[in-house]
Amino acid sequence: MCGIAGYFQLTDEHPPDYALISRMVNSIRHRGPDEFGAYFDNRCGLGQARLSIIDLAGGSQPLCNEDRSLWITYNGEIFNYLELREQLIEAGHRFRTNSDTEVIIHAYEQWGTDCLSRFNGQFAFAIYNRRDKSFFIARDRLGIRPVFYTFHHGRIYFGSEIKTIFCEPSIPRQIDLQGLDEIFTWWTTAPPRTAFEGIHELEAGTCLLIKNGQVQTHQYWTLSFPETFDRKRHYRSWAEELRELLIDSVRLRLRADVPVGAYLSGGLDSSATTALIKHFTDTKVETFSIAFHDAAYDESDYQKQMADFLGTSHHQIKCSYKDIAEYFPNVIWHTERPILRTAPTPLYLLSRLVRQHEFKVVLTGEGSDEIIGGYDIFKETLIRNFWARNPESRWRPLLLKKLYPTLPLSGARARFYLETFYKAGLAKRNEFYFSHIPRMNTTTKIKDYFIPDVRNALQEYDSVSVFGERLPDNFSRWHHLCRAQYIEAKSLLAGYILSSQGDRMASANAVEGRFPFLDHRLVEFAATIPPWLKIFGLNEKYVLKKAMLKELPKTITDRVKQPYMAPDSNCFVQQDSPDYISELLSENALQNSGIFHPKHVQKLREKCKRLSHAHLSFKDNMSFIGILSTQLLFRQFVEHFPDIKSLERNKFSVWEDYSKTPTGHSS
């Protein structure tokens, strides 16, 4: 994993902007502190901060092909690069390194944009073609690795993180209110929109080509589900094929020239990926996990059980309220968007633990819940869809007792809760967002804190519909669980799980996360598994549990799923809370940002102080975290973005098209 950045002139040529590339790369040096490189001509500037994982000595970037006509800067991994390399050698290509980066450049040379369909990986890269003055950017199928861009004064600026783009001082830095509205509906924005005006995110499974002054985007892959399923195939057959695909995915994701560790949360998914690593190594696996001082969030007993069962060398970090409050500003600097829960913060501390143990790569279990039906939102969808067929039924909503055994379902209070929360939107069963209505009803509470000017500006903006603008033609004919999975993958997976909790928290400490469940072969196969084998009754990820029976103890496969969460508002209302909280939520700071009503925010803060976490609603918790994170974002990026000159500090290996050989010089 690395950090990429640069610019490309759409038409006119200009002298190389060395200082800009230096600033851009230095702003993301946390992603790749091992090596820094740049390429320039009068049309293009490419920069790279490298995290050396494959071909440590020969994989320096930017990198070119034999005749120096194609140049690439690249972030990520192509896991099947060895197989592709053999195909390209047979086709006549000559390699001077053993890196997967060079495989990409030759694959593009051989197959053009169709090379993307051949890659099994997680990537974002930019390729400059000196011959026809074209420029190509691509992102992996699931959106594991990010890339952002903007068009400004005849240039496209791009980078792994938005802060690279803001290193050009003439580019405005303003919060996008519509982007904010989307985050406070879906937890994320719908690409290409981001939280900043004019800054775009390349959507997962999409590429962008600039040629002859024309800009074209193309979606080369999207998640799809069948309209009918194979009812004759036995569940053991589905489970065995899933297991074989997962084993091969783990095998590929262990390819590295540095040691590979694993996250071990104690849940089914990370336990599965860690267990499968042992198929390919005789050495003790190094595993890493988070524990919490607050027992309500702690899974350390299960983590210890799995570490003992697998015989791993286990490392743990214990996270407190104080830790979350202290490191929350760092987290927002890396997420580059408001967040509604503090969950990314412990993951930031976890990746720091990994780095402290001198590991650069970890396998994780992310993605399983989305593709195999692990979230409560999917089980809620099944119940609510059944309930919607007879919305006046008094017994159908009682199925929620099986979903939430601790929920008291007797008495008027419980009945009122079910009727008002889960019954909301039952009449919208055919809407694409039906599955997500309960979540949206919780999240959108934050908008009550907008000042009148913001409410008026957003009055006609429909943030609910943004993820439904380009649905597959046969979306309405899919099973309701499949529709829910598609919307979850398009919104929460790429926009939050793989971003704010994934790439950003790992890359903040120069760690690369790898996701075996998100191998596109496995994702495409999982889409064909019948919904009733994903959730059997209300038993989530049933087929995965059957697939892993030989690998894991029953205490793990049979345990009640505990969603990963962290303490929220409680962390920020302690007596020893950091000073920045009072400062950012002060009347003066809220007036400066011009988004939230100071008096309403003050009442919310007092409520958070008054009530314990156990009694504070999800709506109030999300509102507090959403407001605080937005204030931090405004402070860090709009009001006090780092001094531009302070970002010009590292020496680079620089290649220019004026030289005859690819031997660089320091600059």
Per-residue pLDDT tens for 218-227? 999 999 999 9
DSSP, res 369: H
* CA distance linking residue 601 with residue 449, whole number of Å: 7
Q: Is 400 part of any domain?
A: no
Q: Is residue 13 scored above 90 in pLDDT?
A: no
Which class for 192: exposed (0-12), middle (13-18), buried (19 or more C-beta within 10 A)? Answer: middle
Q: Is residue 540 scored above 80 in pLDDT?
A: yes
What does the pLDDT read at residue 650?
Answer: 59
What does the pLDDT read at residue 647?
Answer: 66
Tokens representing 462?
């429909």
From first CA to last CA, the distance across the chain in angstroms is 24
* CA distance linking residue 384 with residue 390, whole number of Å: 10
Q: Is 201 part of any domain?
A: yes
Does one domain contain both 300 and 323?
yes
User: What count of other Cβ atoms lies within 10 Å of the Cβ of residue 623?
Assistant: 28
Contact between 623 and 605 (Cβ < 8 Å):
no
CATH number of the domain encompassing residue 286: 3.40.50.620
What does the pLDDT read at residue 561?
Answer: 80
What does the pLDDT read at residue 37?
Answer: 94
The whole-number average pLDDT for the span 298-324 is 94
* CA distance linking residue 52 with residue 41, whole number of Å: 26
Tokens representing 262?
């694993």
Does one domain contain both 333 and 245?
yes
* CA distance linking residue 144 with residue 263, whole number of Å: 17
Tokens representing 646?
């302070």
The whole-number average pLDDT for the span 134-145 is 98
Task: Find, among 274, 304, 301, the residue nearest to 286 by Cα.
Answer: 274
Q: Is residue 504 scored above 80 in pLDDT?
A: yes
* CA distance linking residue 23 with residue 166, whole number of Å: 10
Does one domain contain both 208 and 263?
no
- Name the residue with tokens 């412990």: 346
Q: Is residue 74 scored above 50 in pLDDT?
A: yes
- pTM score above 0.85: yes
Tokens representing 203?
């959507």
Q: Is 247 part of any domain?
A: yes
Q: Is 551 part of any domain?
A: yes
Q: What are phi and psi of 158, to 5 degrees?
A: -145, 160
Q: Is residue 196 scored above 70 in pLDDT?
A: yes
Does one domain contain both 211 and 263?
no
Q: Is 359 part of any domain?
A: yes
The last residue of one of the domains, among 222, 249, 273, is: 222
Which pLDDT band, with edges at 50, 70 and 90, does 77 fall under? very high
Q: What are phi and psi of 217, to 5 degrees?
A: -115, 145
DSSP, res 32: -
Which pLDDT band, with edges at 50, 70 and 90, does 663 fall under? very low
* CA distance linking residue 165 with residue 154, whole number of Å: 14
CATH number of the domain encompassing residue 166: 3.60.20.10
Contacts of residue 154, defined as CB under 8 A and 6 or more positions apart, other chains included, come to 9, 10, 11, 12
Does one domain contain both 166 and 195?
yes
Does one domain contain both 273 and 320?
yes
Average pLDDT, the chain: 92
Q: Is 470 part of any domain?
A: no
- HSE-up (13 A, CA, CB side) for residue 368: 29
Range of the domain at 573: 569-639
Total domains in the fold of the chain: 3
Which class for 264: exposed (0-12), middle (13-18), buried (19 or more C-beta within 10 A)? Answer: buried
Q: Is 499 part of any domain?
A: yes
- pLDDT tens by residue, 260-281: 999 999 999 999 999 999 889 8
Does one domain contain both 324 and 191?
no
What does the pLDDT read at residue 329?
Answer: 97
The whole-number average pLDDT for the span 101-124 is 97
What does the pLDDT read at residue 404?
Answer: 67
Q: Is 435 part of any domain?
A: no
Task: Find, among 19, 338, 337, the residue nearest to 162 by Cα.
Answer: 337
Does one domain contain both 368 and 496?
yes
Contact between 629 and 598 (Cβ < 8 Å):
no
Percentage of the chain exceeding pLDDT 70: 93
Task: Find, among 348, 359, 372, the residue nearest to 313 by Cα.
Answer: 359
Q: Is residue 444 scored above 50 in pLDDT?
A: yes
Which pLDDT band, with edges at 50, 70 and 90, does 648 fall under? low
Q: Is 662 in a helix, a strand, or coil?
A: coil
Contact between 207 and 113 (Cβ < 8 Å):
yes
Does one domain contain both 543 and 592?
no
How open is the CA angle 140-146-151, to the nearest 5 degrees? 110
Contacts of residue 18, defined as CB under 8 A and 6 or more positions apart, other chains included, come to 38, 40, 45, 654, 667
Weakest-pLDDT range from 292-306, 417-431, 472-486: 417-431
Does one domain contain both 103 and 130?
yes
Does one domain contain both 160 and 309?
no
Does one domain contain both 10 and 41?
yes
* CA distance linking residue 639 with residue 592, whole number of Å: 9
Task: Find, among 427, 435, 433, 423, the residue nearest to 396 by Cα.
Answer: 423
* CA distance linking residue 143 with residue 149, whole number of Å: 15
Weakest-pLDDT range from 35-49, 182-196, 550-564: 550-564
Which pLDDT band, with edges at 50, 70 and 90, does 286 fall under? very high
